[in-house]
Structure 1
Amino acid sequence: MPGKPVTDQQMRLYMSDRPFHNQRVAAARAGFSERTGRRIEANPVLPSQRKPVRGRTVPDPLEAVWQPILIPLLERDSSVQAVTLLRHLQMLDPDGFPDDRVRRTLERRVREWRALHGPERDVIFRQSPEPGRMGLSDFTDATELGVTIAGHLLLHRLFHFVLAYSGWEHAAPVLGGESFTALAENLQNALWTLGGVPQESRTDSLSAAYRNLDKDATRDVTERYEAFCRHYGMVASRNNPGEAHENGAIEAHNNHLKVALDQALILRGSRDFPDIDAWRRFVDEVVARRNRRREDKIKVELQHLKPLPTQRTTDFTELVVRVVRTGGFLVHSVFYSVPSQFIGQRLRVHVYDDRIEAYLGATHVVSHPRMRGRKDGKRIHSINYRHVIHALRRKPQALANSVYRDNLFPRSEYAEAWNRLSEVLPRKEACKRMVDLLWLAHSENCEADLAALIAGDFANGALPDAKTLRKQLLGSRTELPEDRKVRLTDLSSFDRLLEVRT
């Protein structure tokens, strides 16, 4: 058949049929043309024993430059690219190489030269994981999923932990960077959720997360991580910088997890969540479904894991801060408020990835969601209006120019109330009305209900007033009738329920 070379078997069949049939019939029985039969009879050597004769159909465009010019450049540094060599030839001889028509020929020639004369290349050795041997941790950017919290894009990462043998995984959103705090907190959560500890904990180079710190701080972080692994009886190991394939058991899982989350979000029909906790629960559900498909291997691996220690270890960074006269303290360029009674006191602050906890001695004082400082140096404030409302009620005029006024309002309705009051009323009256609204929300513990009433006033074109809204709140609450009598059970009746054994 056209395009297919004749095989030794076809030729032998043709030659054995030729004494009994003419050329046309013998060629047809062998599966080729009569012309091929005549060529075989003229040269009866088997095809496998013939030396192929090949030659160029067009002149070699690189013949004049390959040996004298290009080979020395490749021998000097074999990493030079073919396109770089082409540009070099075009500078030397613009008329000889006016365009890029020889680029593909040059790339093929360079590729063949590297295969024959180039340096040794690195080899990736596929591994056979042992059950209970290694757990891998990594951070991966999850902003590309397009998740929003109350309409705002969530800039975050995912902490991802995977067992190399079974593929059991744990994932959690991380709001900050690849810090020791985020690693320690989430790795502990993964181990306690798993119910066991692998022999080795593999990560990428942690120093990448602390490149802006000095050598002493970087060394301290390394010591804390090693102490963390000693607490759990794990051996700490890291892959070589820039060698992502050494963490291949989790790098591939990172992509698979994000694809699974993306598909689950498509089925959900929305990428918006009311708060970060709802997004965390969604991630947990997706990961749990993925782990159920690995139950057989997980059962095998659980038998080889070491037991957990009796308690968790430190998974936060501790700071000692002083509460200043403005009613709060600074942590990483963020101002956090506390009740005014603690002004002048020194507090121990535990800094987690998503929150901070402040203590006076062993007594818990306050909690705040953790916030990150801005790159432009402008200070961020995390203010709980309940901490300052008593002082603000005595000095309501301080609200107008307070540096953390816009962070003081607990809900958007309160911020809108201030905007409308300050536009219509004189500053003194606007400040007094706004402070009265905040005091009402605090004293009656009706922050959400009051926000709904404020929104109703906006819809009716009215300005919110604390006295009027207080009456509406008290009127809507159900009071117990005064004349209802409660009949108490006689305690002696319980004696009949007792069995006395003589």
Structure 2
Amino acid sequence: MPGRHVTDHQARLFMKLRRDHPIDVAAAKAGMSRATGYCISEDPTPPSQKKGPRGRRRPDPLEAIFDSEVVPLLRTAPGLRPVAIFEELLRRHPELSSGIRRTLERRIRSWRALHGEEQEVIFRQSHEPGRMGLSDFTNMGAAGVTVLGQPLPHLLYHFRLPWSGFEHAHVILGGESFVALAEGLQNALWSVGGAPAFHRSDSLSAAFRNLDAEARTDLTKRYDGLCAHYRMTPTRNNKGVAHENGSIESAHGHLKNAIRDALLMRGSADFEDLGAYRAFIDEIVGRHNAARGKRIEAERAYLQELPERRTTDYEEVIVTVTSAGGFTLRKVFYTVPSRLIGHRLRVRLYDERLELFVGGTHLLNLPRGRGHPDGKHDQVVNYHHVIHSLRKKPMALLHLVYRDKLFPRGEYRRAFEALTARLPERQACKATVELLALAHERNCEVALAEDLAALLDVGDLPDLAVLRRKFSPDPASLPVVTVRATSLNSYEDLLGAGTDTGAYA
């Protein structure tokens, strides 16, 4: 073929075909021209042995400086990039052409192959069924997921059995922590129906961050206790050596690509609530596991049986409710019913919620808040907890620290802004507090918000009297029903009557 060199294989094939075919036929079958066939017939020496060493056609621009300048740089700083050396040579020798960059890169690559430092070797491992389970966290910020239009910063806890490929993913709203690991790991183990002999995670450096030595020791003991509950031997890869957990690090990329594709096919990355997004993730992971169903079923026979119940997957903290009607925990202020002021509460801290107890009695659950990365505190406020006191002091709303978090919906905030703009501050605050009280007392938060939106859209202010009539009746105007207790003698009379008539005979 024109422009292509004849190989030794083609020459041998031509000579073999030449025995039974004319030169032009043998040349065509061997993929060469007729003229080349005649040349090989006259001189059957393999083409590779005919070529002499090719000499340089132009002067070597690096001959005078490579050994004297480039090699010392490579020896002194082995990690130096070729482009940095190239820029340094141009600075030292302005007469050099910028076209030598590729030549320099090839020369450096060849030098490193002969004289470079030894590199770390990755040892591929063979996996046994039921032996190893892997855990890790991966950031999902690039997915651009939103809930009701608001960005959802989150991680995915990712568990995998490398032999069968079983996967489990759990949405984590906070950072890497023992609570997140414990919850996600236990969900994964109960989902697959067994526990492997070993569990490997990363060094948990993110969970240890900002902890003192005592807290780190406690966290290590809790992690060891979690693994012991499921009879797993805990192992960790070295800090900063991600490839030691490579069987799940690579799976991160596959899972995130699948999530990205599913979001594109869905047509939107916005979800109505966190539950809908979690169901979306579960569906993707479920499809992955269904494709490996036979292998997963085979590995289940090698997994250890699960214990009778789950173990602790929360942190427990004692807090005191202050006169502000709440408590501060992990740079977040939480409101609670004011009757708890002065009480010490036992708080179970989960990744996404807080469970509050007085002694052994469960009181209520609160959504978990997160402090801001810049150190600024946050608030989790429920207006139902403070509205009775706020009605007595409506002007407190004007400069309330957590005022923006007090409004349950954006329509109430819009109403406060409109009232403040057009009424004196005292009237505006009182009207806004009464709107919140109306939503609280008559359980009409959503419907009232819709009415407020309609009024504000046309530029009107809310009329409390009209709204109170609409969302009637007023609980204070309801009749009081008195239930009189029946005398127990009437039951004795009935029993006596039954005996007289022979009903029990």
TM-score, shorter chain, exceeding 0.5: yes
Give the TM-score band, short-chain normalised.
0.7 to 0.9
Matches within 5 A, 1:174-213: 174-213=172-211
> C-alpha displacement at 1:35, in angstroms?
7.7
When normalised by structure 1's length, the TM-score is: 0.84
In the alignment, the residues of structure 2 paired with residue 320 and residue 416 of structure 1 have an alpha-carbon distance, to the nearest angstrom, of 37
For residues 257 and 24 of structure 1, the distance between their equivalents in structure 2, rounded to whole angstroms, comes to: 57
Which residue is 1:330 aligned to? 328
- The answer to whether the 8 Å contact 1:323/1:346 transfers is yes
2:499 maps to what in 1? none
- Per mean C-alpha deviation after superposition, the further-off stretch among 186-195 and 323-332 is 186-195
Residue in 1 that maps onto 2:500? none
| TM alignment of 1:90-489, pairs within 5 A | 90-95=90-95, 98-459=96-457, 461-474=459-472
- TM-superposed CA distance for 1:393, in Å, is 2.4
Q: Hey, what does 2:61 align to over in structure 1?
A: 61
Change in Cα spacing, 1:11 to 1:359, as seen in structure 2 (3 Å) is: closer
Alpha-carbon deviations, 1:249-274, whole Å to 9, x = none? 21222122222222222222222112
CA distance in 2 between counterparts of 1:464 and 1:352 reads 40
Judging changes above 3 Å, is the alpha-carbon distance between structure 1 residues 388 and 52 closer, same or farther for their aligned structure 2 residues?
same
Code of the aligned partner of 2:60: D
Superposed, 1:23-34 pairs within 5 Å as 34=35
For each residue in 1:454-486, what CA deviation from the matched residue of structure 2 results, as whole angstroms up to 9, or x when unmatched? 334435654323432232123799x9xxxxxxx
Secondary structure of 2:440's match?
Answer: helix
- How far is 1:361 from its partner? 0.9
441-450 or 79-88, larger mean C-alpha shift: 79-88
- The alpha-carbon distance between structure 1 residues 475 and 103, as it changes in their structure 2 partners (threshold 3 A), is same
Q: Residue type of the partner of 2:255?
A: L
Question: Aligned AA for 1:245?
Answer: H
Looking at structure 2, the residues matched to 449 and 226 of structure 1 have their Cα atoms a distance apart, in angstroms, of: 51
Cα distance, 1:123 vs structure 2: 2.3
State the Cα deviation string for residues 224-252 of structure 1 (Å, max 9, x = none): 21221111111112222332222222122
Structure 1: unaligned runs, 5 residues or longer: 480-502
The amino acid that maps onto 2:428 is: A
Q: Which amino acid aligns with 1:66?
A: F
State the Cα deviation string for residues 196-238 of structure 1 (Å, max 9, x = none).
1111211122113433333333333222212211111111122
Give the CA deviation at 1:13. 6.5
Unaligned runs of 5+ in 2: 479-505
The residue type paired with residue 115 of structure 1 is A
Equivalents in 1 of 2:295, 2:84: separation in Å? 51
Question: Would the alpha carbon gap of residues 469 and 82 (structure 1) be closer, same or farther in structure 2, given more than 3 Å must change?
Answer: closer
**Distance in 1, Cα, partners of 2:133 & 2:146:** 31
Match of 1:365, SS state, is strand
Pick which of 110-119 and 340-349 moved more: 110-119
Residue 48 of structure 1 deviates from its aligned partner by 6.2
Classify the secondary structure of the residue corresponding to 1:454.
Answer: helix
1:51 to partner: Cα distance: 6.8
How far is 1:326 from its partner? 0.8
Q: Is the 8 A contact 2:199 2:234 kept in 1?
A: yes
**TM-aligned CA deviation for residue 301 of structure 1:** 1.1
Letter in 1 for 2:55: G
What is the distance in 2 between the residues matched to 1:89 and 1:428?
74
SS of equivalent residue, structure 2 residue 294: helix
Could you tell me whether the CA contact under 8 Å between 1:139 and 1:160 is conserved in 2? Answer: yes
Q: Aligned-pair distance for 1:277?
A: 1.7
In the aligned structure 2, how far is the partner of 1:192 from the partner of 1:434? Answer: 49
Q: Is the 8 A contact 2:136 2:157 kept in 1?
A: yes
Distance 1:352 1:243 in 2: 29
Q: How far apart in 1 are the matches of 2:38 and 2:354?
A: 90
2:12 corresponds in structure 1 to 9
Over 3 Å counting, the alpha-carbon distance change for 1:145 and 1:87 in structure 2 is closer
Q: Percent identity?
A: 50
CA contact (8 A) 2:14 2:27 kept: no
Q: Amino acid of the residue matched to residue 359 of structure 2?
A: G
Counterpart secondary structure, 1:433: helix
The alpha carbon displacement at 1:333 in A equals 1.4
Deviation at 1:178, TM superposition (A): 1.0
Q: Is the 8 A contact 1:393 1:435 kept in 2?
A: yes
Farther off after superposition, 47-56 or 168-177 = 47-56
Q: For 2:113 and 2:359, how far apart are their aligned partners in 1? A: 69
**Deviation digits for residues 316-356 of structure 1, max 9, x if unmatched?**
22211111111000011111001111111111112211111
CA deviation vs aligned residue, 1:406-428 (integer Å, no higher than 9, x gap): 22122222222222222333333
The CA distance in 1 between the partners of 2:204 and 2:195, in whole Å, is 21
Q: Distance in 2 between matches of 1:57 and 1:448?
A: 83
Per-residue deviation at 1:315?
Answer: 1.4
Residues 41-66 of structure 1, C-alpha deviations (whole Å, 9 max, x = no match): 5x675556657433222233322333
Partner of 1:490: none
- Over the aligned positions, Cα root-mean-square deviation in angstroms equals 3.2
C-alpha separation in 1, matches of 2:280 and 2:24? 75
**Residue pair 2:345, 2:357 contacting (<8 A) in 1 also:** yes
| CA distance in structure 2 between the partners assigned to 1:27 and 1:461 by the alignment | 91
User: Which whole-Å deviations, capped at 9, do the CAs of 1:141-164 have from their partners, x for residues lacking one?
Assistant: 112111111111111111111111
CA displacement at 1:377 relative to structure 2: 4.2
The one-letter code of the counterpart of 2:281 is V
2: CA distance between counterparts of 1:79 and 1:459?
63
- Equivalent pairs counted in the alignment come to 472
In the alignment, the residues of structure 1 paired with residue 266 and residue 18 of structure 2 have an alpha-carbon distance, to the nearest angstrom, of: 72
* Cα distance, 1:37–1:222 mapped onto 2, change above 3 Å: same
Per-residue deviation at 1:32? 5.2
Deviation at 1:82, TM superposition (A): 3.1
CA 1:50/1:214 → structure 2, altered by over 3 Å: closer, same or farther? Answer: same
SS at match of 2:246: helix
Q: For the Cα contact (< 8 Å) 2:138–2:158, is it kept in 1?
A: yes
* Cα distance change of structure 1 residues 155 and 149 upon mapping to structure 2, 3 Å threshold: same
Q: 1:328 to 1:28 in 2, by over 3 A?
A: closer
Seen in structure 2, the aligned counterparts of structure 1 residues 64 and 341 have a Cα distance that, compared at 3 Å, is same
> Are the equivalent residues in 1 in contact too, given 2:355–2:366 (CA < 8 A)?
yes
Contact 1:437 1:465 in 2 (8 A): no
